[in-house]
Structures are given as structure tokens and as C-alpha cells.
Amino acid sequence: MTDSALNALGVDLDNTYASGADLPYAQGEAVRTKNGAAILVKAGSAITQFDLCVYAPSSAAASASIEAFPASLTNVTGRLFAVSQVSIAKGDYGWIHIDSNKEGRVRCTVAETGTLLCLTGTGGVVDDAGTSGKQLQGIYILESVTSASAPRAVWRDIALDRDQLA
């Protein structure tokens, strides 16, 4: 996802970093962009391009990394959501997008525009089937999909639907 506002900040959202010493910005601090907002995280496991992710500090220590993982049915409690627009290898650092008001994409199996999206059994992937009982708020696809792909999407403050928390 190209964002022309970033050249002035010296940040490249498409870049990943193998070492914490190479980071251009503090982990977990939001960077406002023309297309929304992104944060720098460490991948706790491999993240595929366009994955729905969850993130949180790796520990309570002040020096803790902000770790991100593909969102799944078992790792969403007590974590925040974002979407990765690039692949990030396990242990590397990269940008995930907490807000996207245009030009974003999310991995999806099958969904119609205007429907609630849900977590699936595949980490990082959403659909509109609702069989998982984990519906999401704050993320919307802009084009219907009938097979696995990454449709255009917008999101802000993604969260589990309050009625689905049990």
C-alpha cells in the first residue's frame, strides 16, 4: 500500500526490518498517514500480506516489543486488531495498519459487501459466514468476493462485536 505522505516522515510502510537496531520509529507508536494510521510491530509468527492481525506488548516490561500475530479464533482475547499490507517474517519488524480509510486490503474467503465479517479457522482470514461466533466491528470490504482473495477494505477501531465476547 503506497502512501505518499510518508516520504516526509522518512517511513516506508512496505519495508520490513530484521533487527531492532534498524527501526526508523518507536514500536507501538501510531504514525498518521494520508491513508489512515500504522504502527511498527515485531512478528511473533509469520504474517502473510493482507492478514488481519492482533497485537499487544510481549510483556509488562517497559522495553517489551509490540508483538503481532495473524488473528485466529484462539488468540484475540485482550488484544488489539490491525491489518498487515506486507508479509512479515517471524521475528522481523514491520508496519501493520490500525486504520485505513482507502487503499487497504484484507484476506477474505467469501463475503458480500455490507455484511458483518467474522474470524475464520484460518489465521488472518475473515469471511461473512459467522460460524465461528466471533463477529468483527469496524472493518468493511468494498467489493464482494466469491473465493479466497484480498478485496479492498476500510477499517477503523476493529474489535470483536460485544455480543460475541462470551
The average pLDDT across 37-52 equals 96
Confidence of residue 166 (pLDDT cuts 50, 70, 90): very low
3 state SS for the chain? CCCHHHHHHCCCCCCEECCHHHCCCCCCCCEEECCEEEEEEEECCCECCCCEEEEEECCCCCCCCEEEEECCCCCCCCCEEEEECCCECCCCEEEEEEEEEEEEECCECCECCCCCCEECCCCCCEECCCCCCCEEEEEEECCCECCCECCEEEEEEEEECHHHCC
Cα–Cα distance for residue pair 149/166, rounded to 1 Å: 30
Q: CA dihedral in degrees (115, 157, 4, 85; nearest 10)?
A: -70
Residue type present at position 97 = H
- Report residue 73: phi and psi, to 5°: -65, -20
Highest mean pLDDT among 5-9, 116-120, 153-157: 153-157
The average pLDDT across 94-119 equals 92
0.85 surpassed by pTM: yes
The average pLDDT across 37-43 equals 94
- Looking at the chain, the whole-number percentage of residues with pLDDT higher than 70 is 87
Residue extents of the structural domains in the chain: 4-101, 105-164
Query: What's the pLDDT score for residue 45?
Result: 96
Query: What's the pLDDT score for residue 1?
Result: 54
Contact (CB, 8 A) for 66 and 59: no
Mean pLDDT rounded to a whole number for the chain: 87
Q: CA dihedral in degrees (125, 131, 133, 138; nearest 10)?
A: 40
Half-sphere exposure of 78 (CA within 13 A, CB side): 3
pLDDT tens digits along 58-89 = 877 766 789 999 999 888 878 899 999 999 99
Confidence of residue 4 (pLDDT cuts 50, 70, 90): very low
The average pLDDT across 115-131 equals 88
The average pLDDT across 100-104 equals 90
